[in-house]
Amino acid sequence: MRILFLSTWFPYPPDNGSKIRVYHLLRALAQRHEVTLLSFAWNTAQPQAASELRSWFRDVQVMSLNPYEHNRASKLRTFFSLRPVVSRPIAAMTEKAHAILANQSFDSVIASTEMMAAYAFQAPPGTVRILEEHNAMTRLMRERYDEQPRPLERLRCWLSWQKSRTYEARLFRRFDVITMVSEQDREACLSDLPGFHGRVAVIPNGVDCAHHRPGLAEVQPHTLIYNGALTYSANYDAMRYFLAEIYPRIQQELPDVSLSITGSTRGVDLSALPLDASVHLTGYVEDIRLPVAASAVCAVPLRQGGGTRLKILEAMALGTPVVATSKGAEGLAVVDGEHLLLADDPAAFAAATLRLLREPALRARLATNARRLVEERYDWSRIGAQFVELVENVYHEGH
C-alpha cells in the first residue's frame, strides 16, 4: 500500500511519549508498505539529523512550526467558537498536504492525533482514513471539569469539554477507524460521544525491550526518579502533589533519600514547588535509560492525564520497580503487588515507596515480573505488527 502519514510530532529524536509512539508505528508500517511522512517539526525535533529514519520513507516533508502555538487573536476567536482550538487547520500545512495529495495517489491516509485530522480530508473519495489518537480528549476534558474546584475555571473546563464532545462526535464519523491506546479510552470514546457508533480499535503504547534492558547502570540506593517534563500540566500536578504531601513522609523515615525529575522546566513556575537540595531537576536528558536504570524506584504519582504511561513501561523494561497511583497505571495490564505497587493517598504512597527502598527482595520480584510482562505484551515489535495488520485489514475490507 501507499500510505500518507500525517504527524503532529516529527519522531526524531524519539524523546517523549508521542514521538516514541509515532517512531515505532512508522517503523513497522515502513517495513511492509510505501510511506510518505508529512510532519510538523518543533521543540527538540531534528529532521536534518534523522538520516536513518528518512531512509524508511518514500518521501519526508517537514514544516518547522509548533502547531500548538496560536496567536492571541486566534485563541480569542476559538474561545467564542463551537470548535476546539485543535480543530483549526494551519494554512501553510493545508497547502503542503494539498500539494502532496494532488501529485500522488495514496491507498490510506493516517492522521496521528486530531490536530492532523483536517488535513486527511483533502484525500480523494475512496482513500482509507485512519485517526491514530494518543488521548481520548473528550474524556480528558471531562476529567478536568470534574476535578476543577474554582467556579470560573470550572466553567471554562465545561465549555472545553462540550466543544470537544461535539467536535469529536462529528469528526470521528469521517474516519474508517479510530485507534486508542487503552480499552478505557476506547470505552469512553464509544460512550461519551453522542451519535458516534464507529469502529474504535486499541493499539497500546509500548517499549523497545531490546533497547531498554536491565543492568544498564548501577542502582544507587535510596534514589527516586520521575521521568516527565514539568511543562506538561499533568506532570507538574503530579510533582506538586508528591513534593508537598508524599516526599516529606519519605524523608522523615529516610533522610538521605533523593529525587530526580527529568525533562524540560522551560517556562515553568518552580516557586510553587517545595524543592530542597535533595531534589534534582535534570533538564532535558538525551538518553533517559541511564538515570531510570540507576534509580532504586520510579515514582508515578499522577492524578491527571490520559492515555497510558510510557514512563512505567520503560522503567519496567529497565528493571526499575514502580510505585504508582491507579491513575498513573491506568490502561496497563498490571497487577498490584505482582508487577508494581499501587497507592492512591499520600500515606499509602509514601509507605509503598519506603517498602521498595528497604526491601531488595520485593524490588527484585516486581522487577522480574514486570520485565516479563512488557516482553510478552508491550514490546513495540508486537504492537507495531498489530497496527500494520489493522491498517491492512481496513484497506482490504473497503476494496
Range 324-331 average pLDDT: 96
C-alpha cell at 334: 498490571
Whole-number mean pLDDT of the chain? 93
pLDDT for the residue numbered 84: 81
- The enclosing domain of 261 has a CATH number of 3.40.50.2000
Q: Are residues 322 and 226 in the same domain?
A: yes
Name the least confident of 205-214, 223-232, 304-313: 304-313
Give the pLDDT score at 77: 61
Ranges 40-54, 128-142, 291-305, 335-349: which has the least confidence: 40-54
Query: Cell numbers at residue 391, please?
Result: 491498517
- Predicted local distance difference test score (pLDDT) of residue 44: 83
Residues 308 and 235 grouped into a single domain: yes
Of the chain, the percentage scoring pLDDT greater than 90 comes to 81
Answer yes or no: do 162 and 230 share one domain: no
Domain match, 174 and 40 both: yes
* pLDDT above 70 (res 222): yes
In this structure, the number of other CB atoms found within 10 A of the CB of residue 310 comes to 21
Q: Print the domain residue range for 265.
A: 220-377
pLDDT at 71: 42
DSSP, residue by residue, 58-96: SEEEEE---TT---HHHHHHHHTSSS-GGGS--HHHHHH
- Find the mean pLDDT for residues 311-322: 98
Percent of the chain with pLDDT over 70: 97
Task: Give the pLDDT band (50/70/90) at residue 72.
Answer: very low
Confidence of residue 79 (pLDDT cuts 50, 70, 90): low
pLDDT score of 284: 92
- 227, exposed or middle or buried, with CB in 10 Å at 0-12, 13-18, 19+? buried
Each residue's pLDDT tens digit, 111-144: 999 999 999 999 999 999 999 999 999 999 998 8
Residue 301 vs residue 266, higher pLDDT: 301
Residue 214 lies in a domain: no
Domain assignment present for 212: no
The reply to whether 35 and 126 lie within a common domain is: yes
pLDDT at 358 over 80: yes
Mean pLDDT over residues 205-223, rounded?
Answer: 97
46 within 8 A of 12, measured Cβ to Cβ: yes
Tens of pLDDT, residue by residue over 176-188, are 999 999 999 999 9
Q: Is residue 307 part of a domain?
A: yes
Is residue 344 situated within a structural domain?
yes
Phi, psi dihedral angles at 298 (to 5 degrees): -100, 115
Do 139 and 235 lie in one domain? The reply is no
Section 78-106 average pLDDT: 86
The number of folded domains in the chain is 2
pLDDT number for residue 70: 55
Q: Would you say residue 51 has pLDDT above 90?
A: no
